[in-house]
Chains A and B, each alone.
Chain A
Amino acid sequence: RKEVEQDPGPFNVPEGATVAFNCTYSNSASQSFFWYRQDCRKEPKLLMSVYSSGNEDGRFTAQLNRASQYISLLIRDSKLSDSATYLCAVNIDSGGYQKVTFGTGTKLQVIP
């Protein structure tokens, strides 16, 4: 089983729709979680950290479910500019040192 798994998509949604992505992780000792956005041929940019209590930033809501070992990202009122690949990242203790493992990303295409 992969350390971090995401549905690659693509998710094709109309403007204004609400869309949700999940990301599962295998290591129950994982400590911190993040969502990144990556545009085509660009570097990933941090979208938001994911906190145990859940957190919201404008149209974006991130949640963590430790019992089921997944994190989610909800995007409300989708905009055309939201079209990108969304990567989840999980901080894992690997042999005594911390490393962040990324999922393969979920591609979102918002359609006019």
Chain B
Amino acid sequence: GAVVSQHPSWVICKSGTSVKIECRSLDFQATTMFWYRQFPKQSLMLMATSNEGSKATYEQGVEKDKFLINHASLTLSTLTVTSAHPEDSSFYICSARDGVGGNQPQHFGDGTRLSIL
């Protein structure tokens, strides 16, 4: 089945640090990947849709200059949390669809637990 790898799985760093998270589709090509954030006991919230070779589409209320997304290849998307602060601490998860079109399910990476001190 489709496999999505996310790295790192856990980050603890000081306030003001920028953190890069990688999301890779291991056995398929993904023209579109998705970045979610999940706070404790809350639902997955879509942050942005990452499009290979073009700009990401951000959801309302998500700062594009704060959360930089790069999707330079068909198998890799990166999310950089710039100048992270404690309120950015959360569980960040990427996903990708194996196949074209919206009717295919999304497969998730393992997630990155980000803790900003």
A interface vs B, CB < 8 Å? 31-32, 34, 41-46, 49, 87, 89, 91, 93, 97-105
Contact = CB atoms under 8 A, between A and B. Distances in A.
Contacts of B111: 42-43
A105 B108 CA distance: 16
Given A32-B102, A34-B105, A89-B106, A97 B49 contact: yes
Given A42-B111, A43-B108, A32 B44 contact: no
B107 interface: yes
Contact of B103 (A42, A43, A45, A91): A91
Contacts of B43: 87, 102-105
Interface in B103-117: 103-111, 113
Contacts of B103: 31-32, 91
A46 B105 contact: yes
CB-based closest 7 A-B pairs:
A98-B102, A104-B43, A43-B108, A32-B103, A43-B111, A102-B44, A91-B102
Question: Which of A44, A49, A97 has the largest number of chain B CB atoms within 10 A?
Answer: A44
Which size bracket describes the interface of B in this complex? 20 to 34
B87 to A, nearest CB: 20
B14 to A, nearest CB: 23
A98 B103 CA distance: 9
Contacts of B34: 99-100
A104 B26 CA distance: 28
B103 to A, nearest CB: 4
Contacts of A98: 101-102
B81 to A, nearest CB: 18
Interface in B11-34: 34
